[in-house]
Structure 1
Amino acid sequence: MTVSREKVPGVVIAGLRGGSGKTIISLGITAAWRARNITVAPFKKGPDYIDAGWLSRAAGRPCYNLDTYLCAQSVVQTSYLTHSQSCDIAMVEGNRGLYDGIDLDGTTSTSELAKLLDLPVILVLDCTKSTRTMAAVLMGCMQFDPDINICGVILNRMAGKRHEGKVRANIEHFCNIPVFGALPKLKQEDFPERHMGLVTSEEHQESDTSLARARQVALDNIDVDELFRRITSFKGQGMPLVDNDRQESVPAMNTAENKKQATDISTVTIGVVRDSAFQFYYPDNIEALENLGAGIKFISPLSQSDIPEVDAIYMGGGFPETHATQLSANQVFRDNLKALSRKGLPIYAECGGLIFLGESICLDDVVYPMTGILPLRFGLSKRPQGHGYTEVEVVNENPFYAKGEVLRGHEFRYSKVISIDYDDSAMAFKMTRGKGIIEKKDGFFKDNTFGTYTHIHTLGTTSWAPSLIAKARRFKASRQ
């Protein structure tokens, strides 16, 4: 397959570790460029919803995830080309440390993605209590993989001008690359954190104010104009599509042509449960449903009692535990969803959605009732209960996946199962990587309701959207 689209220039913002400050710097630069009427295409490396949500707000357009574990490399390249079209520049925020991957070869690392897309890297250096050593660390990163183009750095958490001057002088002398800016230590209240990173932009009561703050910090401390000039003048070696035996073809992206083709297909309505409690959705997943002829209707158990007429429901992850009082108080919605499930309405839920399908969640010794669709009772731990990539084999017949399929996904959660009533035939997945619901099993289903801790990305799990649409059509036909 060949892709004729013109490649838009872009940059990867990377760090030495998680928590180095690259998210706030990426947000600030994106918002600053947008304020200069530069159209920025935002991307997040890896399986992340929270940073992607903030980047989407900063850029004023959807942020797409690029992940070479979840998707074939050719799909990742095509996603970058497709979703950056008609933009002036692309902003790709990395994750963890620049070279951190799942094996010795750095597979799934930010550096792997930078090479795959042939993009230069700006490295964020947390300079806390360090001066000359930062030049040594940077030099090591530059020499570790000569194919990575670290074209500049941004210094973070500076103690003052004297500190900044020393670090700048050492980097410019020993490493001979530009320092595009230096940020002071910022107050945490602008971007408060929780156990999975930043608080989501939907939950942050003053998210626009925080973004304005990040923009001003970038304008005050980073030469965003020179950075834009350098990135857009970067001459790469092109970006040929690669062969990948995990996936032979590139799934259709959300384009005008695909939407036009979808109008010829009998439409169904998919209810997407989205509000501040449930907001973990990849744009590609919702767009895949639209491409197959679905109309999307957003639903909120926080603000609605009645459930509109839909042919299926997709319920993503989020933080139902922080909204447990409101969710449990809305008994009418909970009862309505349970009744629809018993009537065979297709329901697909991930992580936080799985919790809402259960009987209850216990927080600080207080039990909050959920829908009771699945016989699961949840609690919350102070330590991660599932954190990272997953791989599952479909071992039992179920409403959404064919037996024998192997799927790749991810799980990030602090929730835990306190008790469960099930038999093995009600668990669709056997985990070959990851933890799942219980005893390396996941994908709990009853009737046409399916709940899983495993998040999937439709560009890697191409059977998901057609399966949900097919179930929705059958349910719609059964009511006519």
Structure 2
Amino acid sequence: MIPRVIVAGVTSSVGKTSISIAIMRALREKGYTVQGFKVGPDYIDPSYHTSITGRQSRNLDPWLMGEKGVIQSFHDASIDADLAVIEGVMGLFDGLSGKDNFASTAHIAKLLKSHVILVIDAAKAARSVAAVALGFMKFDPSIRVAGVILNNVAGDKHARYCIDALKQIKIPVLGTIKRNKEIQLQERHLGLVPTGERKELNYKAVQVADYMKEQIDIDKTIAIAKKASKLHIKTNNINKKIKAITAIALDESFNFYYADNLDILRSLGAELKFFSPVNDRHIPDADGLYIGGGFPEVLAEKLEKNSDMLSAVRKVATDGMPIYAECGGLMYLTRSITEFNGAKHNMVNLFDVDTIMDKKLTLNYTEARVVNSCVIAKNGKTIRGHEFHYSRIDDSSKDIRFAYQLKKGKGVNGSNDGLIEYNTLASYMHMHFANRNYAENFLLACKAYSKH
């Protein structure tokens, strides 16, 4: 089984992504084929992994995928790699609740039998970093914390104080990253800016990785990765093939897709055709349409000006083409998007509601019961996902039909999600197709449409 290591933080915003891509960059320079992973529901951080490794990074999330789905995805993605680097989410033990480790980085470490490198922001501490590290080592002894990387170190003297303290608890220090405000990844309201949105961010990722990798002991990191225990995997055989053409909206506005989702569609027999709602005038000839999340509010003016595309999407929707849209895709299909500054832009107008950007973050795992059959699931099914956005839907229309009744999460109005119109489903909820029935149902709807 592939050598692997998890880069975990004591909290969010300690530099996990920067340190992860630095390790990936150093490994590639040593000739390793590196597979990146991100714990949790995140579309942005994996784009930095992909930029550095040249391989599509994957997500690992037990809530979305189930434990078997996590292990299977890890195996499938890393089978031809030399070493896997797995970036954690939030703090090491932060997951679905405070009761246990479910859906946390620690949960993934146990599932994948992987050792953990703990990242500590040392900016406002010295000897106390040892107390922090010791607490993480003892909180759950079954999680193997094998080393520490200190970020935001002021200088050599500060580093020496921290290292001397960590020696007392017998934990290896794999790196001390000197503070440098000029070497930082760019952020905005949903975290880092995706690399697919602006080409210069790929250069910035390399710059950050090159600065940090020189301050990390990569040989010790490799040695830790090689300690990972063997995993037992059952091969996932897919026999069903559903021939259908699916158009995928992919550009600087819409790029929140789990790579596994696209691969699963392909494995089921779909042909994927990509297009840009920002730059293209027409949708490719297809049997169905998948509009993922992203940042339509950032380029709302350009989306509005592309009236040919707005009309094209509305036309295929009213014609009954199966359309599945998530978050940013939902926003695009509403009547309008109002930016943070109050500027209002017309959108597809499939749903008689408006999207309004909101400074309040909605961030949840979600669970819903299907109350109206839709293109991905029949009435009565239970669906899990997640939501992550700074917008709200003005749902004043009395004619709204919802697919989902929420057991967990906020959705559109606090109790429902998944707007339905014609053969379109659009929700704030993002899903992972580890449960292949969702993808199968969508492709079956596409195939039926192709024959109408």
Partner of 2:438: 464
Q: Which residue of 1 aligns with 2:78?
A: 84
Match of 1:17 in 2: 11
Among candidates 46, 52, 56, match of residue 40 of structure 2: 46
Equivalent positions of 1:237-316 (< 5 A) are 238-240=230-232, 252=237, 265=241, 267-316=243-292
For structure 1, the residue ranges without an aligned partner over 5 or more in a row are 1-6, 242-248, 253-257
- SS of aligned partner of 2:63: coil
Q: Deviations over 1:390-426 (max 9, x none)?
A: 00000123333110100110000001113441446x1
Mean CA deviation greater in 100-109 or 89-98: 100-109
Deviation at residue 210 of structure 1 after TM alignment: 1.2
Aligned to 1:244: none
Q: C-alpha displacement at 1:189, in angstroms?
A: 6.8
How far did residue 170 of structure 1 move? 0.7
- State the partner residue of 2:405: 430
SS at match of 1:290: helix
Helix, strand or coil for the counterpart of 2:299? Answer: helix
In 1, the alpha carbon distance for the partners of 2:430 and 2:242 equals 28
The one-letter code matched in structure 2 to 1:135 is A
Residue range with higher mean Cα deviation, 320-329 or 436-445:
436-445
Letter of the 1:19 counterpart: S
- The question of whether the paired residues in 2 share the 8 Å contact of 1:41 and 1:63 is answered with yes
* Post-superposition CA distance 1:148-200 (Å, at most 9, x none): 1111010000111111111011101x221211111122336741111211111
2:29 paired with 1:35: yes
Structure 2 CA distance, aligned partners of 1:295 and 1:205?
A: 27
Equivalent residue for 1:109?
104
Deviation at residue 365 of structure 1 after TM alignment? 2.1
Instruction: After TM superposition, list the pairs within 5 Å mapping 1:39-438 onto structure 2.
Output: 39-103=33-97, 104-172=99-167, 174-187=168-181, 190-232=184-226, 234=227, 236=229, 238-240=230-232, 252=237, 265=241, 267-363=243-339, 364-384=341-361, 386-423=362-399, 426-438=401-413
Count of residues in Structure 1 that have an aligned counterpart in Structure 2: 450
Aligned to 1:246: none
Contact 1:273–1:316 at 8 Å: present in 2 too?
yes
Secondary structure, counterpart of 2:86 in structure 1? strand
Q: Distance in 2 between matches of 1:60 and 1:350?
A: 26
Q: Partners of 2:213 and 2:18 in 1: how far apart?
A: 13
Percent identity over the alignment is 35
Aligned to 1:153, what secondary structure does the other structure show? strand
Aligned residues of 2:174 and 2:217 also touching (Cα < 8 A):
yes
Following superposition, the deviation at residue 267 of structure 1 comes to 2.5
How far does the alpha carbon of each residue in 1:413-446 deviate from its partner, in whole angstroms, 9 at most, with x for none?
A: 001113441446x101001000001141011011
CA distance in 2, matches of 1:418, 1:188: 41
| TM-score normalised by length of structure 2 | 0.96
Change (3 A) 1:20 1:266: closer
SS in 1 for 2:297: helix
Q: Distance in 1 between matches of 2:120 and 2:298?
A: 33
Alignment RMSD: 1.7
Deviation at 1:208, TM superposition (A): 2.5
Contact 1:301 1:327 in 2 (8 A): yes
Shift of 1:225: 2.6
Contact 1:378-1:419 within 8 A present in 2 as well: no
Secondary structure at the counterpart of residue 286 of structure 1: helix
Deviates more, 1:214-223 or 1:387-396: 214-223
Measured in 2, the distance between the counterparts of 1:131 and 1:282 equals 39
